[in-house]
Amino acid sequence: MSEPSTRWGRGSFDVARELRVGDVSYRIASLDGFDVEHLPYSIRIVLENLLRNEDGHRVTREQVEALLGWGSDTSFQSAIDVSPARAFLHDTNGVPVLVDLASMRDAIGSIGGDPASVNPRVPSELVIDHSVIADVFGTEDAAERNVDIEYERNAERYRFLRWGQQAMDGFEVVPPGTGIMHQVNLEHLARVVMADGGWAYPDICFGTDSHTTMVNGLGVLGWGIGGIEAEAVMLGETLSMLVPRVVGVRLTGELQDAVTATDLVLTITELMRRHGVVGKFVEFHGEGVGAIGLADRATIANMAPEFGATCAYFPIDDETIRYLRFTGRDPQRVALVEAYAKAQGLWHRPESIARYSESIELDLGSIRPSLAGPRRPQDRLALAEAKPQFRRALADLMPGADIDAPVRVTLDGDAHDMHPGAVAIAAITSCTNTSNPRVMVASALLARNAVERGLSSKPWVKTTLSPGSRVVTDYISRAGLMPYFDKLGFTLAGYGCMTCIGASGPLIPEVQDAVREQGLGVAAVLSGNRNFDGRINPDVRFNYLASPPLVVAYALAGTMDVDWDAEAIGRDRDGNLVFLRDLWPSGAEIDAVVSQNLSADMFSEAYAHVFEGDHRWRGLATPDGETFDWDEDSVYIRHAPYFDGMSRDPKPAADLEGARALVVLGDSVTTDHISPAGAIPAASVAGRYLAERGVERFQLNTYASRRGNHEVMMRGCFANVRLRNRLVEGTEGGYTRDFTNGGAVTTIFDAAMAYRSAGTPLVVLGGKEYGTGSSRDWAAKGPSLLGVKAVLAESFERIHRSNLIGMGVLPLEFLPGDSAASLGITGTEHFDIRGISTLDENKRRERVRVSADGREFEMIVRLDTPREHQYFSHGGIMRFVLRHLATERPAAV
């Protein structure tokens, strides 16, 4: 890994200064002398980044001046290049990133480069947390057995990651079973202020998961980027972006006693989506910030992607410093963070005069208990309205379903009547909430109160506990509360994302049969951040986000069809009715348990050997060598095809003629719809492909786990069981019409292969917020490999638009007021797109002309910066970077 640039701070503004902290001196790019008081805190961090990296080439004086003029209309039209301090990855995105880097090492020699030049230029850390599945639950050994199964399924991928750790400098891997990446980042990895090569500078963290924003709660500026962009920044590229608008959220008041951080973040998500913050920074300020603990800030910041923001930033203050000390950070680091923030104007002052593009006020006292669902995280509903809202959702999603028509299910010899809305999954999961000691203790206390009253979870509910850190089970156990979780079935299932990312494992077999054979509509309740269609489990129709204590409550009730104010959960041992209010712990009791049982030594012990792993990790046979020895028979790791036939110089971009629509989609299509992450169904195209190669049904694993194999992922593209393609109305799943065969209905993959054979380019038609959700690179890689050349949509989610460009797919936006429907476009037409060949990187929001069987209309080209134009002209970011590396130094002799 390269040393910090000797040019840092030597640009035209001459900003290098000395900062002394104790006995140590650091060089900083000082903001002293600039008028930054009016700038949002997050913009001050970006300004420092530009000043420190100004070189007259990538980062110019004009970029700095544009940021100094932040707030004017012209400033928001300016492109800037931000240099990250760290790259942050998880295994399901990290494996394909490493596959691409290993493939680059193979390819660079063919165009005159040195394989060793393909190496991270910034610290790059990967946490393995996305692969463990809740196959086993409700038993004392569930976690151990799930990890054993995880290694059995994923040993090949893990050996590959260990190869990367050994072959590449500056690439570290946190082994399985440690925790969830964002919680590990928050509790241990995040520096807040970097100290490297004698310099101190802000810890700007770009991660391959959209919830990288969680560390915004700690004063770290960071956000999710696509895995494709991550490869570039790891290899020394800047991140090109337009100067962002910043929405200021002024907080006042305090949360009421029975209100949780989950209730707060669901309310903020609804509020932000309604306001409109896509592509913008959100920054929290005001006196109410001091009333929110660090864990609550992290919960809010984690869900920035759910409300569409690039980040959700909380400035550094006394609470930041307290948390750093409490989680066992090095005292010198803690002192540096405080001194640096105060010296650079990054220390939060409630009376700040910072100006914002838009302003919102939120009284914390107005927050009420909530949940969100059944399909989107922004669809908040008050807990008091949960029952009638569920009944409306039932009528909408399952017309004709009768709430009073039960399905008889026999479990362990006992017959039970399950009604529509029965809770089939109740999962305490996700870093969003398990990082928050107050909500975790609240759920454990509620479990204790329920057990002591003689209540139990309903037998049809799959109950799991999968926290994001070992610290969670440490303090729950120290408080003596783990036995109550166990009694209700919430035994530890593992440390990882699990249910939140769709690795929920199968339902209880008898419940699964009732769903598939008798059409029972069941629900999942989870303390996660995503509840999109088909994400949590393909057999679950209704998905709700809720706080951990509410997850326990719904497991006790066993149904969404419950009025918590009027209906009892059950009867105690004496026959008395028990209501939710009887079980809910007080805030004072929660605080007492947290303060008595959570201590700094827990964090120090949990992370003392964070990169070492257990006997399973250390026992993996690991390949060595500068380049990777590919196994052509592998069903997990395949050589990436993106550089096949690559020339040293790019070919000019060409107009499209005679393109056909592969799919026609509506609004809020997510990356989960485009590139599923859950289990691979045996009957799917991907499942059949694997079966043909000898993979047994039990070993099919998830799409997320096989992202290193492009053959599987191409077949999984647009294969979500809830995808609704308007070319095949009335059908759900990965189907379309093949117009090379008279419009016959077939799988999307088979149709794409037919179009490829015919030499026909493809387009995708979408609606508003196309690409909402995770920063999933395969949602762009998959369409690209299927032959999609352009996506025509009403609007794009930020990360997905960048990913499309990164794969050489052109994002085109309908003019305001236009849509496929308003223009009379059905997707059955032939499409010609003219103007691609004459795009100018110095122009913004250029237009191309589209012809669809005689209908002519213009669309906006969403290549927003010169760098994005360059990526597209090279056929994608990876080819651009590889060509740059090949000319950077001569090939090894």
What pLDDT score does 6 carry? Answer: 62
> Which residue do the tokens 């005159």 mark?
112
Q: What is the CATH number of the domain that holds 298?
A: 3.30.499.10
**Rounded CA separation 768/545 (Å):** 23
Question: Does some domain include residue 884?
Answer: no
* CA distances, 680 to each of 535, 683, 707 (Å): 12, 9, 12
Q: Rg of the Cα trace of the chain? A: 26
**Domain enclosing residue 691, as ranges:** 678-716
What pLDDT score does 646 carry? Answer: 84
Residues in the chain: 893
Q: Where a domain ends, among 353, 368, 383?
A: 368
Same domain for 494 and 553, yes or no, is: yes
Q: Give 471's Cβ-side CA count (13 Å radius).
A: 30
CB 230 within 8 A of CB 206: yes
Question: Does some domain include residue 277?
Answer: yes
State how beta strands 855-861 and 847-852 pair.
antiparallel
For 128, list phi and psi in degrees, rounded to 5.
-85, 105
**Rounded CA separation 432/301 (Å):** 9
Query: Letter for the amino acid at 99?
Result: V
First-to-final CA distance of the chain = 21
CB 314 within 8 A of CB 352: no
Residues 195-222, mean pLDDT to the nearest whole number: 97
When pLDDT is cut at 50, 70 and 90, the band that residue 798 belongs to is confident
State how beta strands 422-429 and 522-526 pair.
parallel
> 797: alpha, beta or left, given left = phi > 0 and alpha = psi -120 to 50?
beta
Listed residue (720, 713, 718, 741) closest to 664, CA to CA: 718
**Three-state helix/strand/coil letters over 352-373:** CCCCCCEEEEEEHHHCCCEEEC
Query: What are 144's two structure tokens?
Result: 């151990």
Same domain for 478 and 602, yes or no, is: yes
**Rounded CA separation 888/891 (Å):** 9
**Rounded CA separation 505/133 (Å):** 6
CB 235 within 8 A of CB 121: yes
Question: Does some domain include residue 572?
Answer: yes
Residues 608-617, mean pLDDT to the nearest whole number: 94
Query: What are 557's two structure tokens?
Result: 């009730």
**Rounded CA separation 874/738 (Å):** 30
When pLDDT is cut at 50, 70 and 90, the band that residue 891 belongs to is very low
Same domain for 588 and 736, yes or no, is: no
Q: What is the CATH number of the domain that holds 753?
A: 3.20.19.10
**Which residues neighbour 368 within 8 Å (Cβ) at sequence distance 6 or greater?**
259, 263, 267, 382, 383, 384
**Rounded CA separation 852/832 (Å):** 7
* CA distances, 820 to each of 669, 737, 791 (Å): 15, 18, 12
pLDDT exceeds cutoff 90 at 676: no
Query: What are 526's two structure tokens?
Result: 């989870």
Q: Lowest mean pLDDT: which of 241-255, 820-834, 874-888? A: 874-888
The mean predicted confidence, pLDDT, of the chain is 95
Same domain for 268 and 327, yes or no, is: yes
**Rounded CA separation 735/716 (Å):** 11
What pLDDT score does 548 carry? Answer: 98
**Which residues neighbour 833 within 8 Å (Cβ) at sequence distance 6 or greater?**
655, 656, 659, 763, 790, 810, 812, 848, 849, 850, 851, 859
**Rounded CA separation 674/552 (Å):** 32
When pLDDT is cut at 50, 70 and 90, the band that residue 890 belongs to is very low
Q: Where a domain ends, among 334, 368, 402?
A: 368
Question: Does some domain include residue 509?
Answer: yes
When pLDDT is cut at 50, 70 and 90, the band that residue 270 belongs to is very high
For 599, list phi and psi in degrees, rounded to 5.
-140, 160
pTM of the model as a whole: 0.89
What pLDDT score does 2 carry? Answer: 44
When pLDDT is cut at 50, 70 and 90, the band that residue 775 belongs to is low
When pLDDT is cut at 50, 70 and 90, the band that residue 1 belongs to is very low
**Rounded CA separation 766/674 (Å):** 11
Question: Does some domain include residue 796?
Answer: yes
pLDDT exceeds cutoff 90 at 222: yes
Residues 123-147, mean pLDDT to the nearest whole number: 96
**Which residues neighbour 10 within 8 Å (Cβ) at sequence distance 6 or greater?**
16
What pLDDT score does 407 carry? Answer: 97
Same domain for 525 and 403, yes or no, is: yes
**Rounded CA separation 802/690 (Å):** 31
Question: Does some domain include residue 123?
Answer: no
What pLDDT score does 884 carry? Answer: 87
Domains in the chain, number: 4
Question: Does some domain include residue 484?
Answer: yes
With residue 164 as reference, give the H or E element that holds it. helix 142-167
**Rounded CA separation 546/526 (Å):** 6
Same domain for 712 and 785, yes or no, is: no
Q: Where are the alpha helices (DSSP H) in 283-370?
A: 294-302, 304-307, 318-326, 331-343
When pLDDT is cut at 50, 70 and 90, the band that residue 704 belongs to is confident
What pLDDT score does 110 carry? Answer: 78
pLDDT exceeds cutoff 90 at 380: yes
Percent of the chain with pLDDT over 70: 99
Eight-state DSSP code of residue 670: B
> 586: alpha, beta or left, given left = phi > 0 and alpha = psi -120 to 50?
beta
Residues 619-632, mean pLDDT to the nearest whole number: 91
Residues 145-169, mean pLDDT to the nearest whole number: 94
pLDDT exceeds cutoff 50 at 560: yes
Question: Does some domain include residue 213?
Answer: no
Say how far residue 463 (Cα) sits from the centre of its chain.
Answer: 24
Same domain for 409 and 465, yes or no, is: yes
Same domain for 379 and 334, yes or no, is: no
Same domain for 684 and 711, yes or no, is: yes
pLDDT exceeds cutoff 90 at 853: yes
Same domain for 349 and 467, yes or no, is: no
Query: Letter for the amino acid at 822?
Result: S
Same domain for 301 and 391, yes or no, is: no
Same domain for 785 and 766, yes or no, is: yes
Eight-state DSSP code of residue 186: I
Percent of the chain with pLDDT over 90: 89
Q: Which long-range contacts (CB under 8 A, 24 or more apart) does 474-477 make?
A: 474/602, 474/606, 475/437, 475/441, 475/594, 475/597, 475/598, 475/602, 476/440, 476/441, 476/444
Eight-state DSSP code of residue 385: G
